Every structure is written in structure tokens, then in C-alpha cells.
Structure 1
Amino acid sequence: MPELPEVETVCRGLRPLLEGRRIAAVEVRRHDLRRPVPADLAHRLEGRRIEAVRRRAKYGLVALSGGSTLLFHLGMSGRFRHVRAGANDTAPAAHDHVVLETDAGDRVVFNDARRFGLLVLADSAMLDAHPLLRDLGPEPLDDAFTPGYLRRALAHRRTSLKAALMDQRLVAGLGNIYVAEALHRARLSPRRGTHSIGPARAARLVAAIRAVLEEAIAAGGSSLRDHARVDGGLGYFQHRFRVYDRAGAPCPRADCGGTIQRLVQAGRSTFWCAGCQR
């Protein structure tokens, strides 16, 4: 499933195409996504000016004139594709479900083979109270995500560090890939108890989370199966994985000499090095 860097990459690709433009036409070719696309979506979008495109956790938010926001989630396989104004090949591809056309003639197409994505409309003034957003924790790249916050948030939990970081109520946008990568950089075991994270470990972990996410965003995310940028290009952070999906490979840390291992936590694969992650 796309995580924070992949959704941020998509939002950055959509901004120059959408911000400041009006939606000239909307075609809904299939309504049955994870949540049904609103039956009146075209009516409610056409003619609206797009004021901003931003991200919250793993959601994209498209703010519209008139006080509405189009909220999207990519699910497992969702992606947006740009079709340039005047392009000769405008025939829909398989799994093209929603097409937005701007007043500049550009088309933005939402494609989702597995149909686990969603497109819903929300009241912009009540966005923070929306059921999909209201319980989210701080953004890991925002100033509110500090070592002090993390230490306090973990202190009264009785679970593994990996499980806690996957909880979107604690910190928003992290998933299996970037939690594994951050824990390796911070030299912390995914099995470590949350109550044992003191000031020094919290500082290492916050720094590692920020570094991994910033590098992944700069690389356009990780393209393992379905993720692609809006322009069709692929992300390449997958070529920089230190531990994720590298079971049996040597630990890349020069002073370690250990081997990357795989274990299952809460039904999810965890990749780590027992030699240097304690």
C-alpha cells in the first residue's frame, strides 16, 4: 500500500496540473471502489476552481471553491495519470475509473486495478473532524513530531515498537516499508518494548524517520508493484532499501556483519538485523 512518500509524490505531481484550474468535465466510469464514488460527483465538481492540493497522512486532499474538498486514497493499486491537452491517444485504459478534465484541456485519470482506493467529498470547514482524518496523529515531518512527543506517546503503551509506529493515531503516514527502514537507521529492534524508549532512543528514531521519509520523497517514493508518478515515471527509493524485503542479505552497516532477517508481527512481514538493532 502506498505510504507517505508515495502519496506526497502524487500530490506534488498533481499540483502544477490542478491548482488554479477549473474542472471543466468529470467522467465517472465506475462507481464501485472501496467506498462508492458519490453518484453526484460530476455535478458537484464541474465548474469548481481547484484551490490547493495537499496531503494528510496517506490521503490526498484537493481543496475546491465552494467549500468542498475531494479526498482520495490510493488503496493498494491506485494511481493518477496525466493526459496532456491535445493528446491523440485519449482512449480509456483498463481500470480507468474517474477522469477529471481541466479548463486547460489536461486530463487527470484515476486508475485502480484492485479498486481499494477511494474518492469522497468532504466539507472543507469540517475536514479535521472527518471520520477518515479525525484520529490521525501528527505528521512525521512536522514540527509537532518531536522526540519528546514520541517518548510521551510511547511511554504508556505495552506493545512492540514496530506495532506502535504503524498505528496512525500515534504518527500519521508510516507503513511497513518506512518503519523497517527507520528502525534500522536508528539501530532499534522492531521487537523492543515501547516503554523502553528514553530520550536518546527517541531522538535517534525521530531523526531516522525524518531522514528516511525525506530521502524517499526526493526519490519519488518506492515502486514495488503499482506506484507511479503522475507523469508515468517510477520511484526509485526501492533501490536504496537497507532491510525491507532483503531477508538473507548481509546487513549494509559496515560495523555489523549481521544478516537481514524476516519475522512476522501482527500478520505483517518485518525485516531487520539482529546484529545491530537492539
Structure 2
Amino acid sequence: MPELPEVEVSRMGISPHLVGEKIAKLTFRTPKLRWDIPAELKQMEGQVIRSVSRRAKYLMIETDLGSAIVHLGMSGSLRVLDAEVAPSKHDHVDLKLENGKVLRYNDPRRFGAWLWTENGEHAALSHMGPEPLTDAFNADYMLEKAANKRVTVKQFIMDNKVVVGVGNIYASESLFSAKLHPSKAAGQLTQEQWQKLVQEIKQVLATAIKQGGTTLKDFSQADGKPGYFAQELQVYGRAGDACLSCGNEIDELKIGQRNTFFCPHCQHK
């Protein structure tokens, strides 16, 4: 599933092609993705795209009349192509511009979404915590939110009601960098430990976005993929391999039904 860095890179990739351009036509080749595609989205035809923003893993294509809310789901991707390029099997949505380009949404599993909002508010965006790369996400905030919580720290930082966008890969990587065991209770972390973990989450996500930016050219290629990058992973997916820090074996366990990777030596409780 695309995580926050991939979604942010998608935003960075499509924005220069969309902002300031007028929407000529919206084409939906399926009535439903994860949810029904609202008919109100057709109101965007004839509107100028003012900005492309991101909230958590949702992209907002904004016009004066309202905004399309786009979620990539498990397998969705966005590309900017010449409108003459024929759609393929899983190309479900076309946002055609008057300049002859088209933003094309591809989603083999159809678990993504195209939604509509007139005022920037939507049930899908409600009850979300702060963005992880903002000042609102800090050690004081996390210490207060985690007070007396017995849930594991990994589940806690992956809870979008606490902080958005810290997906499974980046949770494992950040906990390793902070030298914290993923099954430690969130309420047991000290101020100093939260300070370190918040710092590492910000660093891991920022680095991933920066690395992903090197693939932005793919957005204007017919066979391009969204801004995925060669991840330099320290623990995720490396069960049985040697820890890059101490040489001991990377272990794996299930936390909240998610595969979790850690070094028992570096991340002892």
C-alpha cells in the first residue's frame, strides 16, 4: 500500500501539470471503487485547478467550486499523459485538461477512492491526528496522548487518530532508529524516548520523500509508476538477516496483525 511518502511524492509529481489548468472532462469507467463515485465530481468540469494538497494519505485536487479527494488504496497510481493515450484495463478515472493532458487513475484492486467535498471537510478526513512533519507532532503531544496507554508503541504511532501517515514500514524503521522495542507499551515511554522517536519518524519520512523525488519524471511517461523509490531499509522485510548496526539476527513478530521487524539486541525492552 502506498504510504505517506509515496502519496506526497505523487502530489509533488502531478501538481506542476495540474495547477492553473482547466478541467475539460471527467470520465469514470466504473461506478464504484472502495465507495461509490459521487456524481457531484462532474461539477469540476470547466473549473480551474487551484492547488493539489495532501491530508494524511488523501490527495485534494482543489477548485473554487469544491475538491476531489483521491485515495490510492492498496494498488492505485496516478500518471499525467497525453489524452490520446488509450486507457488500459485498470484505468478507472480520467481527469482531462483543456491543454490536451490527462490525469489518469489506475487501480487494479479498486480499493482506492474518488470523493467530493465543497468545503474541505469529509467524513473520511475527520478525527485525524496531526501531520507528522509539522510542529504539532512533538514529544509533549505524544507524551500526553500516550499517558496510561497499554497499547504497544508501534500500534500507537500507526493510529491515524494520534498521528497520520506513519505506516507499517516507517513505524518499524523509526522504532529501530530510536532503539525502542515495538511491543513496549506506549504509556511507558519517557519524555526523552518520545523526543527521540518523534525525531526519527520525521527524519525517516522526510528522507523517504526526498529519495522519492528523484523519480518524478515517471509521472509524464506512459509506462511510469508513481514516485516509488529504492528504500534503504534497516529492518523492514529483513527477518533472519544480520542487523546493520550490531550484526545480530533481525527478528519478526505480529503486532496488531501486521508484520513487525526489529533487532532484539538493539531494541531490547
TM-score (norm: length of structure 1): 0.90
Q: Residue in 1 aligned with 2:26? A: 26
The 3 A distance-change label for structure 1 pair 196 and 229 is: farther
Between the aligned partners of 1:237 and 1:201, the Cα distance in structure 2 is 29
User: Cα distance, 1:229 vs. partner?
Assistant: 5.5
The SS at the match of 1:132 is helix
Superposition pairs of residues 167-246 of structure 1, within 5 angstroms:
167-220=159-212, 230-231=219-220, 232-233=224-225, 235-238=228-231, 240-246=232-238
What is the root-mean-square deviation of aligned Cα atoms in Å? 1.7
Between the aligned partners of 1:40 and 1:139, the Cα distance in structure 2 is 28
Q: 1:122 and 2:112 equivalent?
A: no
Between the aligned partners of 1:274 and 1:37, the Cα distance in structure 2 is 46
Between the aligned partners of 2:179 and 2:218, the Cα distance in structure 1 is 31
Q: 1:84 and 2:82 equivalent?
A: yes
8 A contact 1:83–1:106 mirrored in 2: yes
Q: 1:98 and 2:93 equivalent?
A: yes
8 A contact 1:80–1:229 mirrored in 2: no
Q: Residue in 1 aligned with 2:244? A: 252
Between the aligned partners of 2:218 and 2:54, the Cα distance in structure 1 is 15
Between the aligned partners of 1:104 and 1:131, the Cα distance in structure 2 is 33
Q: 1:144 and 2:136 equivalent?
A: yes
Between the aligned partners of 2:187 and 2:40, the Cα distance in structure 1 is 49
User: Cα distance, 1:113 vs. partner?
Assistant: 0.2
8 A contact 1:70–1:119 mirrored in 2: yes
Superposition pairs of residues 8-23 of structure 1, within 5 angstroms:
8-23=8-23
8 A contact 1:31–1:39 mirrored in 2: no
Between the aligned partners of 1:40 and 1:186, the Cα distance in structure 2 is 46
8 A contact 2:40–2:116 mirrored in 1: no
Q: Residue in 2 aligned with 1:72? A: 70
The SS at the match of 1:14 is helix
Q: Residue in 2 aligned with 1:38? A: 38
Deviation readout 1:217-237 (Å, 9 max, x if unpaired) = 01118x9xxxx9634255224
| Percentage of matched positions with identical amino acids | 40
Between the aligned partners of 1:164 and 1:110, the Cα distance in structure 2 is 32
Letter in 1 for 2:27: E
Letter in 1 for 2:50: E
Gaps of 5+ in 1: none
Q: Residue in 2 aligned with 1:265? A: 255
8 A contact 1:216–1:237 mirrored in 2: no
Between the aligned partners of 1:40 and 1:276, the Cα distance in structure 2 is 52
Between the aligned partners of 1:257 and 1:108, the Cα distance in structure 2 is 46
User: Cα distance, 1:40 vs. partner?
Assistant: 4.6
Between the aligned partners of 1:164 and 1:229, the Cα distance in structure 2 is 34
The SS at the match of 1:271 is strand
Between the aligned partners of 2:37 and 2:147, the Cα distance in structure 1 is 41
Letter in 2 for 1:183: L
The SS at the match of 2:212 is coil
User: Cα distance, 1:120 vs. partner?
Assistant: 0.4
Gaps of 5+ in 2: none
8 A contact 1:155–1:197 mirrored in 2: no
Deviation readout 1:91-117 (Å, 9 max, x if unpaired) = 111100010111211111000000000
The SS at the match of 2:184 is coil
Letter in 1 for 2:64: S
The SS at the match of 1:157 is coil
Q: 1:6 and 2:1 equivalent?
A: no
Q: Residue in 2 aligned with 1:162? A: 154
8 A contact 1:72–1:120 mirrored in 2: yes
The 3 A distance-change label for structure 1 pair 155 and 40 is: closer
User: Cα distance, 1:45 vs. partner?
Assistant: 1.5
8 A contact 2:158–2:168 mirrored in 1: yes
